[in-house]
Chain A
């Protein structure tokens, strides 16, 4: 009787030269090989070569010259790095929780609708996500324009004098956060909405029978049941925020020779790294910058996973 499995998957017979385990799993290795080759070529190799260059003075062409930890020291001692990290900390501290709160609010709102209205609001809130970044920045530069911009026009009706949102160092960060929340809320909303749809209706029904208010239902059912989804949204939002680049770059009209806006109020690590690489042609320094940022992202993400595991064990 012929075997039900194709010849390729048949268990190899012992007694050949190849070690048995290897022969047994060779087809599996072959199947994951294409991914591993691409992963090694386009992910592992760039990371390892970046690590190598981070210890070298290198402009992209000349023979790399070993400088030990000099690149790391230069970055850590630079004023731009401190400014970029300070901006980043404030940005993350506000934009991540605010973005999730807005997304959760929108998800609850959309979830309360059914039929075409639910579709309409879901699509409307998701629209900024698919908008090209440069278009979003152009729209917001118009909205934020001093004197005659939409926002200043509205504020003017209430007697508020014109605010130069994108050039006043007191307002620039908040102006960016508003744009960021506007763009990211739709994406997070869709994920949270999927989580909301998975919460069994009986839980709400039982809560209502017990006399729970809408607010109590959200606090005691919705948020706990959304825990894993909220954790994903929070982690994803945090990692994205750490790498913020395009929105502040475009809003401040940055280029490789001048970036970060007035007094570097919107200077962030990835912008600084790009400027050092392509503007200053210091790729060793840029690589070291990238590693410092990667280490920070890995450390905080690991901390978040550890805390979550610890809470689940409790």
Chain B
């Protein structure tokens, strides 16, 4: 009861600042709320429905329909909805497709509304995550929501079989690579083929590079990839080639290999943890998750990205924004993090003692802070489809020996610049 009162007080405060929102809430309004499909099932759905109930109880006349959709369906639905004038009012999506959504006017610029929120509320959010929603001064296209920093999942049984002491995680790339070789020598798979998926290539690039040398210079439409760093990274792919399982990090086969004690390392986001956790309970899988080591001690690899909550322009925008601020507010994000052990962009929620001690969150916070932005800067221009496929093609071709790492890096960068210039 106390918590509800606190929530109501918070909403009342926000409504006082947003006079128009209060007026909108007094009318009969139905909001369409689109979320990722995994947020619309099981415990996650139950909690989302709890948030909705709390909000609608405090806003008589407001009804909220929640719909779960897959990644591509979310984007396709929002783009098609923008064309037909039938957009969902509040929705989730990935930062990386933000530019497309801005281009088709599926995302409203919520900067003024955001600035009208109490300072205390605005300060709750991770500064970097919030900055990534602001492509230019005076423009804010999203509220950063859940997110991830890539982690290194380690199969402890495989490591022990390979004669590796798992109690100390590898601190540098060299130490990690030496462990991979030991695993291979023991007749097991060290790692998935990291050249098969754009994000896994980025994760390994981050072991040497940083956000400043990755992503796009939209002013002159060139890639930020540094040729010297890319050469070094391509050499890593060449070195890793004989040690891989040949499957991508996203393949079900990769997870099955990990669960069946045939694969030592899996670099991926925290979303695989429920699967591995279940395997630990049912089949005795021994695993942990640590930071992806970088070239030097203290540097971490991996990427970070956030799912966003966006608001569509239209007659329901005020109440939709109010709902968006409600679900991203600290109390809700604490409940969300505790339920799913998932990192999110509400730094105040992440610092909450009940949350910060959760093992997956503890590592995720460090992983996200040390990781590289996967496709920044966001919300400026659509990344042509040739970009990601070019990165994959050249990484894979170099690992296969078709180019030397120097040639591969040069050709890749030339090709990416040509792709962006189209």
Contact among B105, B247, B252, B262 with A138 in the assembled complex (CB-CB below 8 Å)? B252
Is A258 in contact with B252, judged by CB distance below 8 angstroms?
A: no
Q: A149-B253, A281-B79 are in contact. Are A61 and B386 (CB under 8 A)?
A: no
Q: A61-B82, A278-B75 are in contact. Are A263 and B250 (CB under 8 A)?
A: no
In the bound assembly, the distance between CA atoms of A258 and B386 in angstroms comes to: 7
Contacts of A162 in B (CB 8 A): 246
Q: A60-B83, A279-B382 are in contact. Are A257 and B96 (CB under 8 A)?
A: yes
Contact among B82, B103, B389 with A264 in the assembled complex (CB-CB below 8 Å)? B389
**A222 interface residue (CB < 8 Å to B):** no
Q: A61-B105, A146-B246 are in contact. Are A141 and B385 (CB under 8 A)?
A: no
Is A278 in contact with B72, judged by CB distance below 8 angstroms?
A: yes
In the bound assembly, the distance between CA atoms of A49 and B75 in angstroms comes to: 22
In the bound assembly, the distance between CA atoms of A164 and B251 in angstroms comes to: 14
Give B189 Cβ to nearest chain A Cβ, in Å. 7
In the bound assembly, the distance between CA atoms of A147 and B244 in angstroms comes to: 10
In the bound assembly, the distance between CA atoms of A162 and B189 in angstroms comes to: 14
Is B392 in contact with A147, judged by CB distance below 8 angstroms?
A: no
A interface SS class: loop
Q: A167-B196, A256-B72 are in contact. Are A281 and B103 (CB under 8 A)?
A: yes
**B71 interface residue (CB < 8 Å to A):** yes
Is A281 in contact with B383, judged by CB distance below 8 angstroms?
A: no
Q: A146-B246, A167-B196 are in contact. Are A281 and B253 (CB under 8 A)?
A: no
**B417 interface residue (CB < 8 Å to A):** no
- Chain B contact residue count (CB 8 A cutoff): 40
**B208 interface residue (CB < 8 Å to A):** no
- List B residues 88-124 near A (Cβ within 8 Å): 96-97, 100, 103-105
Q: A167-B196, A262-B392, A278-B75 are in contact. Are A60 and B82 (CB under 8 A)?
A: yes
Contacts of A257 in B (CB 8 A): 96-97, 198, 383, 385, 388
Cβ contacts B211-228/A at 8 Å (1 or 0 each)? 000000000000000000
Is B103 in contact with A258, judged by CB distance below 8 angstroms?
A: no
Is A259 in contact with B76, judged by CB distance below 8 angstroms?
A: no
Give B218 Cβ to nearest chain A Cβ, in Å. 15
**A269 interface residue (CB < 8 Å to B):** no
Residue of B nearest to A274 (CB): B76
Q: A167-B193, A253-B250, A283-B83 are in contact. Are A275 and B245 (CB under 8 A)?
A: no
**A216 interface residue (CB < 8 Å to B):** no
Contact among B72, B103, B246, B385 with A147 in the assembled complex (CB-CB below 8 Å)? B246
**B421 interface residue (CB < 8 Å to A):** no
- List A residues 249-285 near B (Cβ within 8 Å): 253, 255-260, 262-264, 275-281, 283
Q: A61-B83, A278-B76, A279-B385 are in contact. Are A263 and B189 (CB under 8 A)?
A: no
**A145 interface residue (CB < 8 Å to B):** yes
Is B198 in contact with A148, judged by CB distance below 8 angstroms?
A: no
Is B79 in contact with A80, judged by CB distance below 8 angstroms?
A: no
Give A169 Cβ to nearest chain B Cβ, in Å. 9
In the bound assembly, the distance between CA atoms of A122 and B96 in angstroms comes to: 47
Is A145 in contact with B103, judged by CB distance below 8 angstroms?
A: no
In the bound assembly, the distance between CA atoms of A258 and B262 in angstroms comes to: 29
Is A281 in contact with B393, judged by CB distance below 8 angstroms?
A: no
Cβ contacts A182-209/B at 8 Å (1 or 0 each)? 0000000000000000000000000000
Residue of A nearest to B375 (CB): A257
Contacts of A283 in B (CB 8 A): 83
A256, A257, A281 pick with most chain B CB within 10 angstroms: A257
Is A145 in contact with B75, judged by CB distance below 8 angstroms?
A: no
B251, B384, B385, B386 pick with most chain A CB within 10 angstroms: B385
**A66 interface residue (CB < 8 Å to B):** no
Contacts of A149 in B (CB 8 A): 253
In the bound assembly, the distance between CA atoms of A54 and B389 in angstroms comes to: 26
A149, A279, A280 pick with most chain B CB within 10 angstroms: A279
Contacts of A80 in B (CB 8 A): 386
Contacts of B393 in A (CB 8 A): 262-264
**B248 interface residue (CB < 8 Å to A):** yes
Q: Which A-B residue pairs are the 8 nearest by beta carbons?
A: A146-B246, A60-B83, A258-B388, A145-B253, A275-B385, A61-B104, A278-B76, A279-B385
Ordered by A's residue number, 18 sampled pairs between the chains whose C-beta atoms are within 8 Å are A146-B246, A147-B245, A167-B193, A167-B396, A253-B251, A256-B97, A256-B385, A257-B198, A257-B388, A258-B388, A262-B392, A262-B396, A263-B397, A275-B385, A278-B76, A280-B100, A280-B384, A281-B79
Known contacts A253-B251, A280-B385, then 12 further A-B pairs from the complex at CB < 8 Å, ordered by chain A residue: A61-B82, A146-B245, A147-B245, A164-B246, A253-B248, A253-B250, A262-B196, A262-B392, A262-B396, A263-B393, A280-B100, A281-B104
Chain A residues at the B interface, C-beta cutoff of 8 Å: 59-61, 80, 138, 141-142, 145-149, 162, 164, 167, 253, 255-260, 262-264, 275-281, 283
